[in-house]
Amino acid sequence: MTDTVFITGVTSGFGYATALRFAKAGWKLILTGRRTERLEKLKAQLSSVPVHIITLDVRDANAVKQAVATLPEEFKSIKTLVNNAGLALAPDLAQKVALEDWHTMIDTNITGLVNVTHALLPSLIATGKGATIINLGSIAGQWPYPGSHVYGASKAFVKQFSYNLRCDLLGTGVRVTDIAPGMAETEFTLVRTGGNQKASDDLYQGTTPLSAEDIGEQIYHIATLPDHINYNRVEIMPVRQAWSAFAVDRDK
């Protein structure tokens, strides 16, 4: 029987690359995102495998429940969930950021992930051995930096939620991984800066960041590990990215 993967946030970046990677391996795909046109285009592109698309805002718990409850019969048995939908906004200092931007990050990165996970747990537990939940975290969930404020805090939630799920799912066969990328060249910075192409270009100029395809490959690897192996957390950085010294405030 062909395995099925449920991926959120597939209309760009990591989600898009992940969909392509699973399709290449012949999986059935349930693909969700907020941009219907992009979903339809991706479905047409992946015509060699069964694809079910859902225009979905993961922040809407009722919409998530309805989407899962009305899955076509051939897509109801889910082997892997990839909680990819998420975003960063307002890379300014916390004291300069609009409260609504904080709420948007919390609602998407935390509430949305929780909504989808809760809705799909029965199906994943029914699948049992080898079923996998892969949550998209970030190095920002482990390492603080100026302007990360709620974004980093939301990814710290992803990390701890993943660990806690592992405890609760012990004995079910369901695996949980927090995958935490570092610098990666996607639409991430464009979204974070409100569409500032120069800011995005400057961030990646002169270095070698990760690509969306790099992360998609790692997600597929995690989902296809032998059933008895669980990667608790996978932190991935480009070779050309590392940590820096502590900042110190000094008298002028």
Sheet holding 4-7, edge to edge: 51-55, 28-33, 4-7, 80-83, 132-136, 175-181, 233-236
Separation CA 212–CA 187 (nearest Å): 10
Residue ranges covered by each domain of the chain: 65-236
- How many other CB atoms are there within 10 angstroms of residue 129's CB atom? 10
Q: pLDDT value at position 248?
A: 95
Q: pLDDT value at position 37?
A: 96
Separation CA 207–CA 204 (nearest Å): 6
Give tens-digit pLDDT for 98-156.
999 999 999 999 999 999 999 999 999 999 999 999 999 999 999 999 999 999 999 99
Active site residues: 151
Give tens-digit pLDDT for 167-218.
999 999 999 999 999 999 988 777 888 888 888 888 899 999 999 999 999 9
At 214, list the tokens. 């790099």
Quick one: which of 9, 38, 236 has its CA closest to 137? Answer: 236
Separation CA 119–CA 110 (nearest Å): 14
Q: Domain spanning 65-236: which CATH class is it, in words?
A: alpha beta
Q: Residue 250, class by beta-carbon neighbours within 10 Å (0-12 exposed, 13-18 middle, 19+ buried)? A: exposed
At 17, list the tokens. 């690359």
DSSP 8-state symbol, 229: -
- Mean pLDDT across the chain: 96
Q: Is the pLDDT of residue 1 over 90?
A: no
Separation CA 155–CA 140 (nearest Å): 7
Separation CA 160–CA 97 (nearest Å): 25
Where does the pLDDT of residue 96 fall: very low under 50, low under 70, confident under 90, or very high at 90 and above? very high
**Helix (H) and strand (E) counts in the chain:** 9, 9
